Chains A and B, each alone.
Chain A
Amino acid sequence: EIVLTQSPATLSLSPGERATLSCRASQSISNVLAWYQQKPGQAPRLVIYDASNRATGIPARFSGSGSGTDFTLTISSLEPEDSAVYYCQQRDKWPLTFGQGTKVEIK
């Protein structure tokens, strides 16, 4: 099973600051990694697919990078509505797996 390790567990930043979230895979997964945003009481929402492609309706301040085992989700300038838990997920091998999540808090 491919284990995805996200860091940090929690990120507390002010509006306008840059957020950098990391996801590391236990083995190479090429670029088949996605990022999801989940706000309290809501279903997850796709943010980035295939490592670097923004999903429909996602603001340009969100960007993804990486390949192989190391991936990054960057929010260039935080907005209050970006407060959420962010999960990475791989679809390279079965079973499909998620990271444990990074909580982004806005000060």
Chain B
Amino acid sequence: EVQLLESGGALVQPGGSLRLSCAASGFTFSSCAMNWVRQAPGTGLEWVSTIGTTGGNIYYADSVQGRFTISRDNSKNTLYLQMNSLRPEDTAIYYCVKRGGATGWGAFDSWGQGTLVTVSS
């Protein structure tokens, strides 16, 4: 069974930093592109970032480009999101999401339960 367990969410002041982690199990982590998707309170889903299997292909939404850094450690089956210069509009539940398909770049086929990040003074 695929399991994705996020951690690291917290209340942080504007301008602050936070590092999210996602521990993965139940599948071959190194074969799947991994992603962060967020959802602000009462709103829809927003893709944040994707990292390829070896970490060589990285993509960001414009809203976080230059402030967030996605990374992965395939030896630890763990995905990370380093978030700097946080803004109130970054307040959201952050989901760790696995991509499926034969190439590992398919649809978002497994989601964690999410971790809440609140940016407020």
Chain A positions within 8 Å of B, measured between CB atoms, are 34, 36, 38, 43-46, 49-50, 55-56, 87, 89, 91, 94-101
Contacts and interface: CB of A to CB of B under 8 A. Distances in A.
B45 A98 contact: yes
Contacts, number: 55
B16 to A, nearest CB: 25
Contacts of A99: 44
Interface residues of B, number: 21
Given A43-B111, A43-B112, A87-B45, A95 B106 contact: no
Contact of A50 (B44, B47, B106): B106
B95 A43 contact: yes
Contacts of B109: 46, 49, 55-56
Q: Among B47, B50, B107, B111, find the residue whose CB has the most chain A CB atoms closer than 10 A.
A: B107
B62 A36 contact: no
